[in-house]
């Protein structure tokens, strides 16, 4: 495909621009890029304190809440930040779009790379905390989940970045949708809570967000989804991701010629 060829051809430029984009987010602050790591870290720590020590939630079942919660929240923050920033990236990089020689296809990937610095930091934090509590990661599952998350984000933002460029109001709708996904994904509550409603539970397990959140937990604890039902949900995840990518890529390609005109 044109997108994949363009990404392979320009990967060095994408990494360089992604690094610059991350630095520019905090260029006007005294601490600079440190804020990028500090803010989400404090956010995650606050959730742990509130739900484990104040509300004394039992959502984690037999596992320490911090071990159950941090992997899920780390993946969600990665998904949310990458999707929101990549969706608005073409408008943010409008000056590049108007350059005829610049490969517009890779612009959303620049924002994904930029978000990766903090996201991978949160993955490391979650991993270290789980190890401290005695839960060693399955390295193969860890690599698989990181790879799967990148693939889904790229597929999803092929669609959202094109629509946001053509219809600016879509970014607000997407923000609302991501909030709904947050609460309907088992991040701060356990999927077992809907076990009395098997149809609802099955539908939720089939969503990519639930798959990735629960999959990262499986790296450390026995809450299985990657290997569940002989890999059924894994097959569904990749099927949905592929469909989204093909559909989003078609929409992006069809509207790409009009990007410069609407910016």
Q: Is the pLDDT of residue 174 over 60?
A: yes
* Residue closest to 73 by CA, chosen among 99, 117, 40, 106: 40
Averaged pLDDT for residues 154-170: 93
* Residue closest to 161 by CA, chosen among 203, 204, 106: 106
Q: What is the pLDDT of residue 82?
A: 94
pLDDT single digits (tens) 25-84: 766 665 666 777 777 778 777 877 777 777 666 556 678 888 888 999 999 999 999 999
* Residue closest to 221 by CA, chosen among 15, 21, 63: 63
φ, ψ for residue 195 (rounded to 5)?
Answer: -65, -20
Structure tokens of 143? 């690599």
pLDDT single digits (tens) 137-159: 999 999 999 999 999 999 999 99
The string over 37-51, giving b where at least 16 C-beta atoms fall within 10 Å of a residue's C-beta and e elsewhere, is eeebeeebeebbeeb
Provide the 10 A C-beta neighbour count for residue 118. 23
Structure tokens of 152? 């889904």
């Amino acid at each position: 495909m044109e997108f994949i060829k363009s990404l392979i051809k320009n990967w060095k430029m994408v990494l360089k621009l992604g690094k610059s984009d991350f630095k520019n987010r905090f260029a006007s602050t005294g601490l600079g890029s440190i804020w990028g790591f500090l803010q989400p870290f404090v956010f995650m720590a606050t959730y742990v304190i509130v739900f484990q020590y104040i509300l004394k939630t039992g959502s984690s079942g037999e596992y320490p809440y911090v071990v159950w919660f941090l992997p899920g929240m780390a993946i969600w923050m990665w998904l949310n930040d990458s999707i929101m920033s990549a969706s608005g990236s073409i408008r943010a990089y409008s000056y590049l779009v108007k350059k005829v020689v610049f490969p517009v296809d890779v612009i959303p990937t620049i924002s994904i790379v930029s978000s990766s610095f903090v996201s991978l930091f949160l993955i490391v934090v979650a991993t270290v905390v789980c190890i401290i509590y005695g839960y060693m990661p399955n390295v193969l599952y860890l690599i698989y989940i990181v790879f799967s998350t990148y693939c889904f984000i790229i597929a999803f933002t092929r669609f959202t970045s094109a629509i946001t460029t053509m219809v600016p109001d879509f970014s607000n709708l997407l923000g609302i949708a991501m909030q709904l996904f947050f609460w309907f994904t088992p991040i701060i509550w356990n999927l077992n809570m809907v076990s009395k409603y098997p149809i609802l539970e099955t539908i939720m397990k089939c969503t990519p967000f639930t798959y990735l959140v629960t999959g990262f937990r499986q790296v450390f604890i026995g809450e299985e989804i990657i290997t569940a039902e002989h890999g059924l949900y894994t097959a569904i995840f990749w099927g949905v991701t592929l469909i989204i990518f093909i559909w989003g890529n078609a929409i992006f390609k069809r509207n790409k010629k009009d990007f410069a005109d609407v910016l």
